[in-house]
Amino acid sequence: MSQVFYRSPKTRYPMVQRADGVYLYDQHNKAYLDGSGGAAVSCLGYNHPQIIRAIKAQLDKVPFAHSAFFTNEPQEELAQRLADRFPQVGARVYFLSGGSEANETALKLVRQYWLAKGCSSKYKIISRQQSYHGNTLGALSVSGNVQRRKTYGPMLQDWPRIMPCYSYRHQREDESDAQFAQRAANALEQAILEAGPETVAAFIAEPIVGATLGVVLPATDYFRRIREICDQYQVLLILDEVMCGAGRSGHYFAFEQENVVPDVVTLAKGLGGGYQPLGACICRQDIHDTIVDACGSFAHGHTYIGHATACAAGVAVMDVLEQQNLLDRVQSSGKLIRNALRTQLAEHPYVGDIRGSGLFIGIELVSDRTSRRAPANSAALASTLKQRAMDTGLIIYPGHGSVDGSNGTHILLAPPFIYQDQHIDELLSKLSSVLDHNELKSMVTHDNTIA
């Protein structure tokens, strides 16, 4: 009998005993190949000696000192290196313990910015349907994930949400890619006008939608049009890169491939690589300076902001990325995996779409490829996919509700950046075995399906 309050109390979890490289081992010494980085977290795998040394060295100096009294060297170094990567000079970095905190910070930041500018009526945050920005009440308020929101609905802010830029499901047959991108982006302008531009503080979106849709990339020029609309109506642009950032897409910031610059960007997961809980909210210099000049300080804080040991881990993760040129490997390995999946699953009757960027890959399942009909028993299917993969010795990240919040099933892959060719072969072999399992075939072809 365990005293742990598990996230899923009826589930029996194996006991992880050790981890090394891209494998985790349970109490029976069974090996599990990590095909998803947990939840796109463990970008450098496990037990990396350089990162372990950096953490131990920081623990020997000072593990933690509260930010109301001190700064620390790892925080200063990591902030400088992140600011150097941001496209505009002078960016400021606020460190947190994870993605929900980072996005919660971004929401408060844009509100205080508009107060400092004398625009007290600006407080609404527009977001997108089928999005996810975190589990705190503020971050959940701007999330469009139906399943995660439903229990807490009465406690959440009900601000506007627009359609996602989800070509596989929403692009019309008579639309070009450019026309669809324009239509999807222009939904923001309509939402701003309906809400009243004087009330809208920001628009928040994932450059590549992660767990809720299963790695959905935007149509070309979608974010360019989004940036134009935000500028036109004096709305700040927050890009949530908690899952897709820190190199996961093959660029350090996923927005780099969209040729836009956000006002605020959030990071977590791969920022600390799972070695320490770490998130960040990065803003343009003028946002920081406006708040400081008008208010003196940012009316926000958490106990562990700028945690010295966490930031030391973040510095070490960035060292490894740069020293080993891992962003290049992310791009090449990601392309190799996606091409292999498309070849291997080209005729698979239940694979509707394979998409991704870098080592961030989504596979959408369907019960009929022609109509793109989605299995309606998506929650049970996703759960079974996860369990069958674990039985096979593979960790993947299935999701459900991708079509409309209730229906639709996908698999998210986000393997560590240090994958070698043999790991890619093992991933493909085990995943193929999972998808061809008779139990899954029966569930996917069940008559209770939706278009």
pLDDT digits (tens, 9 = 90+) for 333-344: 999 999 999 999
- Same domain? 243 vs 299: yes
DSSP 373: B
Q: What's the whole-number mean pLDDT along residues 214-241? A: 98
- Same domain? 180 vs 128: yes
What lies within 8 Å, CB to CB, of 14 at 6+ separation is 26, 27, 28, 30, 390
- Same domain? 244 vs 195: yes
**The domain that contains 82 carries what CATH number?**
3.40.640.10
- Same domain? 363 vs 373: yes
- pLDDT, tens only, 51-76: 999 999 999 999 999 999 999 999 99
Last residue within a domain, chosen from 323, 350, 369: 323
**The domain that contains 418 carries what CATH number?**
3.90.1150.10
pLDDT of residue 446: 60
Q: Which run of H or E residues covers position 315?
A: helix 308-323
Last residue within a domain, chosen from 296, 323, 350: 323
What is residue 50's three-state secondary structure? Answer: helix
**Total number of domains in the chain:** 2
* pLDDT averaged over every residue in the chain: 95
- Same domain? 148 vs 223: yes
Asked if the structure places residue 164 within a domain, the reply is: yes
- Same domain? 289 vs 408: no
- Same domain? 121 vs 191: yes
pLDDT of residue 445: 67
Q: What's the whole-number mean pLDDT along residues 86-90? A: 97
Measured CA distances, 222 to 186, 188, 210, 251 (Å): 9, 11, 17, 18
- Same domain? 339 vs 304: no
Asked if the structure places residue 235 within a domain, the reply is: yes
Q: Which run of H or E residues covers position 79?
A: helix 73-85
53: left (phi over 0), alpha (psi -120 to 50) or beta: alpha
- Residue 25, pLDDT above cutoff 60: yes
Q: What's the whole-number mean pLDDT along residues 43-52? A: 98
- Residue 448, pLDDT above cutoff 70: no
User: Which band of pLDDT confidence, cut at 50, 70 and 90, is reported for residue 442?
Assistant: confident
Strands 360-365 and 409-413, how do they pair?
A: antiparallel
Closest CA to 317 of 10, 113, 81, 109: 81
Asked if the structure places residue 234 within a domain, the reply is: yes
What is residue 307's three-state secondary structure? Answer: coil
Asked if the structure places residue 8 within a domain, the reply is: no
Cβ atoms of residues 359 and 424 within 8 Å: no
User: Which band of pLDDT confidence, cut at 50, 70 and 90, is reported for residue 384?
Assistant: very high
- Residue 450, pLDDT above cutoff 70: no
- Same domain? 355 vs 306: no
Asked if the structure places residue 46 within a domain, the reply is: no
- Same domain? 305 vs 354: no
Closest CA to 7 of 214, 157, 213, 148: 148
Rounded CA-CA distance 113/110 in Å is 5
Share of the chain above pLDDT 90, in %: 90
Asked if the structure places residue 42 within a domain, the reply is: no
- Same domain? 141 vs 108: yes
Last residue within a domain, chosen from 308, 323, 338: 323
pLDDT of residue 378: 86
Domain that holds residue 89: 51-323
Measured CA distances, 416 to 15, 43, 395, 409 (Å): 21, 4, 12, 23
- Same domain? 383 vs 262: no
Asked if the structure places residue 255 within a domain, the reply is: yes
DSSP labels, 183-244 = HHHHHHHHHHHHH-GGGEEEEEE-SSB-TTTTSBPPPTTHHHHHHHHHHHTT-EEEEE-TTT
Q: 3-state DSSP helix/strand/coil percent for the chain, to nearest 5?
A: 40, 20, 40
Asked if the structure places residue 103 within a domain, the reply is: yes
